[in-house]
C-alpha cells in the first residue's frame, strides 16, 4: 500500500532516509516550518504555538530524524465554567439531568461501558462501590483536597492550571513501523487542535490504594461532554476525538442525543462537522473526524478509500490536496480514537512544564 502519496510512491522523493535534515544537524532552528514534507500547518490548529521549531529526535525504532517541537499554552479551549467551554464534570446527584453531567467509562458488572456519570454512579453503587449516599448525592472529590474517606468511592475531577505549557515532539517525515502500534490505556495519541493533547482510553474505576480504601472504594474520572478533562496536574486533554463525539452520542448503540439531549458544543471545536481536521498523531500523520468530506458532503471513509486496521487510508483532503495518509475517528464507538498507529514516534512525545 502506498502511504506516501504526497511525495509519490515511486521512491523518487524522500520517504525517510537519505535526504532528511540529519546532515545539517538541526541546531534547534528558530525558523518557522517551511518543510513541505511534513504535515504540521499552524493555521490548522486555531491557536498559535508559543514556539515552533525543528530539532533532532530519536524515535522508538531507534531512528534519528527531525521532529517538530511545538509548545502551546495549556488549556486554550477555556478553563472556567463561566466561559461555557468546558465541563460539566461530576453530577452532584443521581437526579441531575444528564445534559448537566459529565460522562465516563465504567467497566463493571452492571451496565458497563460509556455512559453518563449519573448512570455510571448508579451502576457502581449497585456493584458495591459506595459512591451514592442515602440522599442520592454522588460523592465527589476534586483530587486537590485529599478528602477521600476510606471505604467510600468518588467521582473525580481536577482543577485547571493555565500557567502550564504543553510541548509535543512529532516527526516531520513519518516513518512506518514494521507492525502497527496499538494504544494502551492513557497512551498519548498526538496533538489535537488548539494544542490540546489527545490521549487514549481513560481508566475506568481506579481502586484506591491499599490502606486508604477498603471494600467499596474506587474512583471514576469525569469527562466533559466533549470527552476531555483536566489532568490532576492541571492541563486539559481529550480522551476522544472531540470533532466526532456527537456522532457517538447519536449512534444506535447509545442514542444519547435522543434520550438525553447531550452533546459537545465547545465553541473552540468544529463539533458539528464530523469530517473536520482533528490534529496530528504522534507519528506525524494527520487525524480527522469520523467522516470524509467529498465535494462538500460527508461520507463514510471506506467509500473514499479502503481503511486499514488503524482506521487510516490515503487520499486528497481539503487540507492536503496533494493527498495524505490520515487516520479517522470511529463513528459509533466510545472512545472513538483510532486503535493504532502505522508510524514510529518519540517515546515521550508530549511533556508538560
Ligand atoms: Zn485523562
Ligand atoms: Zn479519509
Q: Is residue 51 part of a domain?
A: yes
Q: Is residue 266 part of a domain?
A: no
Ligand closest in space to the Cα of 221: 1
Quick one: what percent of the chain has pLDDT higher than 90?
67
Q: Is the predicted pLDDT of residue 136 greater than 60, yes or no?
A: yes
Q: Is residue 110 part of a domain?
A: yes
Q: Is the predicted pLDDT of residue 202 greater than 50, yes or no?
A: yes
18 CA distance to ligand 2 centroid (A)?
29
- Are 117 and 238 contained in the same domain? yes
- DSSP assignment letter at 132: B
312 CA distance to ligand 2 centroid (A)?
7
Q: Is the predicted pLDDT of residue 12 greater than 70, yes or no?
A: no
Mean pLDDT of 91-113: 94
Ligand closest in space to the Cα of 230: 1
- Are 235 and 318 contained in the same domain? no
Higher pLDDT, 82 or 161: 161
Write down the pLDDT at residue 347.
Answer: 95
- Are 21 and 53 contained in the same domain? yes
33 CA distance to ligand 2 centroid (A)?
25
57 CA distance to ligand 2 centroid (A)?
29
- Are 143 and 49 contained in the same domain? no
Write down the pLDDT at residue 85.
Answer: 64
Write down the pLDDT at residue 109.
Answer: 86
- Are 177 and 281 contained in the same domain? yes
Higher pLDDT, 22 or 310: 310
Q: Is residue 272 part of a domain?
A: no
Mean pLDDT of 138-150: 76
- Are 287 and 179 contained in the same domain? yes
Write down the pLDDT at residue 108.
Answer: 85
315 CA distance to ligand 2 centroid (A)?
6
Mean pLDDT of 335-346: 97
Mean pLDDT of 92-96: 98
Ligand closest in space to the Cα of 186: 1
36 CA distance to ligand 1 centroid (A)?
33
Mean pLDDT of 287-310: 95
229 CA distance to ligand 1 centroid (A)?
6
Domains held by the chain: number: 2
User: Which of 212, 235, 260 is the endpoint of a domain?
Assistant: 260
Q: Is residue 287 part of a domain?
A: yes
- Are 214 and 238 contained in the same domain? yes
Mean pLDDT of 155-183: 95
Q: Is residue 271 part of a domain?
A: no
Ligand closest in space to the Cα of 277: 2
Mean pLDDT of 167-184: 97
- Are 143 and 180 contained in the same domain? no
- Are 228 and 192 contained in the same domain? no
171 CA distance to ligand 1 centroid (A)?
24
Q: Is residue 132 part of a domain?
A: yes
Q: Is residue 269 part of a domain?
A: no
Q: What is the pLDDT of residues 226-262, one digit of tens each?
A: 999 999 899 999 999 999 999 999 999 999 999 999 9
**Mean pLDDT of all residues in the chain?**
86
Bridge partners for 237 per DSSP: 229
Q: Is the predicted pLDDT of residue 287 greater than 60, yes or no?
A: yes
302 CA distance to ligand 2 centroid (A)?
8
237 CA distance to ligand 1 centroid (A)?
6
- Are 212 and 65 contained in the same domain? no
297 CA distance to ligand 1 centroid (A)?
33
- Are 55 and 175 contained in the same domain? yes
Q: Residue 248 to residues 50, 228, 241, 281, 309: CA-CA distances in angstroms? A: 33, 15, 10, 21, 20
323 CA distance to ligand 1 centroid (A)?
32
Domain region containing 27: 5-76+162-199+277-352
330 CA distance to ligand 2 centroid (A)?
12
- Are 43 and 166 contained in the same domain? yes
296 CA distance to ligand 2 centroid (A)?
13
Write down the pLDDT at residue 64.
Answer: 97
Amino acid at each position: 500500500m502506498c502511504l506516501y502519496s504526497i511525495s509519490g510512491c515511486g521512491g523518487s522523493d524522500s520517504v525517510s532516509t537519505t535526504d532528511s535534515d540529519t546532515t545539517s544537524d538541526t541546531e534547534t532552528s528558530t525558523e518557522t516550518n517551511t518543510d513541505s514534507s511534513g504535515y504540521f500547518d499552524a493555521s490548522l490548529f486555531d491557536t498559535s504555538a508559543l514556539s515552533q521549531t525543528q530539532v533532532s529526535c530519536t524515535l522508538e525504532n531507534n531512528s534519528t530524524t527531525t521532529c517538530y517541537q511545538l509548545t502551546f499554552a495549556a488549556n486554550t479551549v477555556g478553563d472556567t465554567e463561566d466561559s461555557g467551554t468546558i465541563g460539566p464534570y461530576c453530577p452532584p446527584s443521581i437526579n441531575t439531568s444528564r445534559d448537566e453531567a459529565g460522562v465516563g467509562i465504567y467497566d463493571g458488572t452492571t451496565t458497563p461501558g460509556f455512559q453518563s456519570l449519573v448512570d455510571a454512579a448508579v451502576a457502581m453503587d449497585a456493584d458495591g462501590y459506595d459512591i451514592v449516599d442515602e440522599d442520592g448525592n454522588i460523592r465527589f472529590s476534586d483530587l486537590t483536597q485529599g478528602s477521600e474517606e476510606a471505604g467510600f468511592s468518588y467521582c473525580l475531577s481536577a482543577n485547571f492550571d493555565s500557567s502550564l505549557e504543553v510541548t509535543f515532539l512529532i516527526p516531520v517525515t513519518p516513518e512506518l513501523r514494521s507492525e502497527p502500534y496499538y494504544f494502551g490505556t492513557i497512551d498519548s495519541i498526538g496533538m489535537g487542535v488548539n494544542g490540546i493533547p489527545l490521549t487514549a482510553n481513560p481508566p475506568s474505576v481506579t481502586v484506591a490504594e491499599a490502606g486508604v480504601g477498603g471494600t467499596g472504594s474506587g474512583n471514576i474520572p469525569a469527562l466533559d461532554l466533549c470527552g476531555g478533562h483536566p489532568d490532576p496536574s492541571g492541563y486539559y486533554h481529550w480522551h476522544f476525538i472531540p470533532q466526532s463525539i456527537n456522532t457517538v452520542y447519536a449512534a444506535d448503540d447509545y442514542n444519547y442525543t435522543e434520550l438525553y439531549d447531550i452533546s459537545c458544543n465547545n465553541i473552540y471545536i468544529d463539533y458539528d462537522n464530523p469530517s473536520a481536521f482533528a490534529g496530528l498523531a504522534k507519528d506525524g500523520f494527520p487525524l480527522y473526524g469520523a467522516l470524509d468530506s467529498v465535494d462538500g458532503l460527508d461520507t463514510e471513509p471506506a467509500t473514499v478509500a479502503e481503511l486499514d486496521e488503524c482506521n487510516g487510508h490515503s487520499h486528497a483532503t481539503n487540507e492536503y490536496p496533494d493527498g495524505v495518509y490520515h487516520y479517522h475517528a470511529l463513528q459509533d464507538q466510545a472512545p472513538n480514537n483510532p486503535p493504532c498507529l502505522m508510524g514510529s514516534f518519540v517515546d515521550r512525545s508530549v511533556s508538560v512544564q
